[in-house]
Structure 1
Amino acid sequence: MQTTGWEEEFREYVRTRGPALLRAAHQLTGHPLDAEDLLQNALTKTYLAWERIEDRRALDGYVRRAMVNINISQWRRRKLEEYPSDDLPEIVTDTVAWGDVHERLEQALEELPERMRAAIVLRYYEDMTEPEIARTLGISVGTVKSTVSRAMAKLRAALGLGG
């Protein structure tokens, strides 16, 4: 099969940046398989827009923004499918001794509610400002501030850092 120059350029981009983008997707979703699906969807959108993206240095930002937008759309749809229940799920105690702070942080992030996880990832992993996060998530700046604050408190508690 004959490929065009831009198709080969896209393939090279995916080969070189794919692992980093997958890590960002995992931070957004909290689940490896969901992260793969999210990245695949974002790369499909990027592929379709490839010839229109003039600044190749902005590709990571384009893909990350697509991932955030897709993820938001998915959890907004999922909200409609969730129903409250009187039964609490069984709590599984994890006997693994977390020695690595990075692994413990990853675990704590996965346990955050989706909006909190998205706000933390955008703020501290993507270095977005509060107004940028508010626009991205479709919430007010005040909601971003309180969400990030509550998420950080949960992370500190999960990591045993207190205060």
Structure 2
Amino acid sequence: MRFTAYLLCGNWHEAEDVMQSAFMKLYQAGPKLADRSGIEAYLRQVVVRTFLAERRRLRWRREELTDAPPEEVFDTPGAEDGLVVWEALSTLPARQRAVLVLRYWNDMSVEDVAAALGCSTGTVKSQSSKGLLTLRGKLGPGFGRSRLEA
């Protein structure tokens, strides 16, 4: 769940703040949660909604560019591709980013994403389509192809 918050926020500090707020909301709702089997889905929904609420509240705040290296270095093959995708994902609007993270990182169905975000399935589909289109535009037509094919 913490990594989901990180994918949504783009940095660990903000992700931890979102998680702290989400756990506080979960704690406050604890007595109302009769069915403990769906607690993970409920927490995911709270994390996403907390992230979106923070983005709406701090809309005036812009991302600041620094000369510092990223917080985490990926050491897997194709790590530079992962960094490029992550940077492109972090430029998307908050709602599109939330839809893409839930749909493709958490592998949730359209209906589950709609329930988590409190919107219709059509909204999830359109936000997903717009987000993927924007990512493809930022990454370019040749991104993801094998180096040998190019």
How far apart, in 2, do the equivalents of 1:120 and 1:156 lie? 13
**Taking every aligned residue pair, what percent have the same amino acid on both sides?**
36
Q: Deviations over 1:18-67 (max 9, x none)?
A: xxx22110112223221110011112223344466566554432321110
Q: 2:134 aligned with 1:154, yes or no? A: yes
- Is contact 2:45-2:117 (8 Å) kept? no
Within the candidate set 71, 96, 112, 1:132 is matched to 112
Query: How much does 1:78 deviate?
Result: 3.6
The 5-angstrom pairing of residues 62-81 of structure 1 reads 62-79=42-59
How far apart, in 2, do the equivalents of 1:135 and 1:53 lie? 17
Range with greater deviation from structure 2 (55-64 or 28-37):
55-64
Query: How much does 1:109 deviate?
Result: 1.3
Q: 2:10 aligned with 1:34, yes or no? A: no
> In structure 1, what is the equivalent of residue 103 of structure 2?
123
Within the candidate set 76, 84, 88, 1:108 is matched to 88
Does 1 or 2 have the higher relative contact order (CA < 8 Å, sep 6+)?
2
How far apart, in 2, do the equivalents of 1:62 and 1:142 lie? 21
Q: Secondary structure at the match of 2:107?
A: coil
**Runs of 5+ in structure 2 lacking a partner?**
144-150
Higher helix fraction (1 or 2): 1
- Is contact 1:31-1:110 (8 Å) kept? no
User: Which contiguous aligned blocks of 4+ residues in structure 1 show a shift greater than 6 angstroms?
Assistant: 89-92
Q: Deviations over 1:85-117 (max 9, x none)?
A: xxxx9999xxx9x95122222222111111110
> In structure 2, what is the equivalent of residue 22 of structure 1?
2
TM-score, structure 1 as length reference:
0.63
Amino acid at match of 1:64: R
In our comparison, the structure showing a higher alpha carbon Rg is 1
User: Could you say what the CA RMSD is over the residues aligned between the two structures, in angstroms?
Assistant: 3.5
**Matched residues, number:** 135
